[in-house]
């Protein structure tokens, strides 16, 4: 009996170690879900210029020297988020849809270093081309690049849809039995990057989000000492269901135009 118990403990321990190794090795493929669409062939944004700046790609439609920078949600591409142009083009802003490393058939791996570099390249482009008012929009996983941009440069308005405090904290909530602090290499910290941000901030979340729990935006929102912050919640919507909600579009336009 004791030998059987000992064997079970050893087998369980080995399975646990194997699972830890698997999570560490495979984490990027479990975090990032790039598609293999062609950046140069985007029907939704066929009237936008396709630009490459320091190997960072984006779609751009210029209307003025005020600009909206959009960071798309995971498991998609910038092109697939092109439906958002119908909202943005109701304003007097130029519009930029940013494509990340590894997405849309890019040969650069998605990792925190390369994605931060993409954001820094976008910043450099905005500075070099002398844009005035800058609005940054990030969604889901890509709320952290938006938060990072607000940390390193002047962002006049920031829109975060289904954000989280830090990816470490979010991942711990998904895998509570594993030593995530040791295993995780992609440690984004929106809460840290936003702690000194004082300009207009809009956080949007919905109560039934099954991917990023509702509590995460509340914790992020409450941690920020910002008198210009506001939140907007939508009831009974899943993580990917906002695209057919008119109140979502209306709130974004109200925030941009105020």
Assigned domain for 94 exists: yes
* Distance separating alpha carbons of residues 258 and 161, to the nearest angstrom: 18
Which CATH number is 238's domain given? 3.40.50.1820
Contact 58, 97 (CB under 8 A): yes
pLDDT, position 17: 94
What kind and span of H or E run contains 150?
Answer: helix 143-152
Assigned domain for 107 exists: yes
Assigned domain for 26 exists: no
Contact 211, 162 (CB under 8 A): yes
Assigned domain for 2 exists: no
* Distance separating alpha carbons of residues 199 and 156, to the nearest angstrom: 6
The pTM assigned to this predicted structure is 0.93
> Residue 109 — φ and ψ, nearest 5°?
-65, 145
* Distance separating alpha carbons of residues 151 and 182, to the nearest angstrom: 26
pLDDT, position 233: 87
pLDDT, position 210: 65
Assigned domain for 198 exists: yes
Residue with tokens 């940013």: 98
Residue 131 DSSP class: -
> Residue 52 — φ and ψ, nearest 5°?
-130, 120
Question: What domain count does the chain have?
Answer: 1
Assigned domain for 27 exists: no
- For every one of its 258 residues, what pLDDT tens digit does the chain have, with 9 covering 90 and above? 677 888 788 888 899 999 999 999 999 999 998 888 899 999 999 999 999 999 999 999 999 999 999 999 887 899 999 989 999 999 999 999 999 999 998 989 989 999 999 999 999 999 999 999 999 999 988 999 999 999 999 999 999 999 999 999 999 998 999 999 999 999 999 999 999 999 999 999 877 666 787 788 889 999 999 999 999 988 755 555 655 678 889 999 999 998
169: domain range? 32-257
pLDDT, position 10: 86
Assigned domain for 1 exists: no
Assigned domain for 25 exists: no
């Amino acid at each position: 009996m004791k030998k059987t118990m000992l064997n079970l403990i050893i087998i369980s321990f080995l399975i646990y170690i194997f699972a830890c190794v698997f999570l560490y090795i495979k984490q990027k493929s479990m975090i990032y879900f790039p598609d293999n669409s062609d950046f140069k062939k985007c029907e939704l944004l066929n009237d936008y210029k396709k630009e490459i700046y320091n190997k960072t790609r984006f779609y751009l439609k210029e209307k003025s020297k005020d600009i909206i920078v959009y960071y798309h949600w995971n498991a998609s591409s910038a092109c697939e988020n092109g439906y958002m142009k119908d909202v943005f083009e109701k304003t007097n802003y130029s519009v930029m849809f940013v494509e990340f490393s590894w997405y849309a058939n890019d040969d650069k791996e998605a990792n925190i270093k390369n994605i931060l570099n993409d954001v820094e390249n976008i910043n450099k482009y905005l500075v070099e081309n002398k844009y005035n008012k800058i609005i940054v929009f990030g969604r889901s996983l890509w709320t952290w690049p938006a938060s990072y941009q607000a940390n390193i440069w002047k962002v006049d308005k920031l829109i975060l849809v289904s954000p989280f405090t830090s990816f470490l904290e979010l991942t711990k909530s998904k895998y509570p039995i594993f030593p995530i602090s040791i295993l995780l290499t992609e440690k984004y910290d929106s809460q840290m990057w936003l702690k000194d941000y004082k300009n207009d901030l809009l956080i949007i979340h919905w109560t039934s989000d099954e991917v990023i729990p509702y509590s995460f935006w509340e914790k992020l929102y409450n941690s920020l000492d910002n008198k210009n912050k506001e939140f907007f919640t939508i009831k009974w919507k899943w993580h990917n269901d906002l695209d057919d909600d008119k109140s979502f579009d209306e709130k974004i336009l109200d925030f941009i135009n105020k």
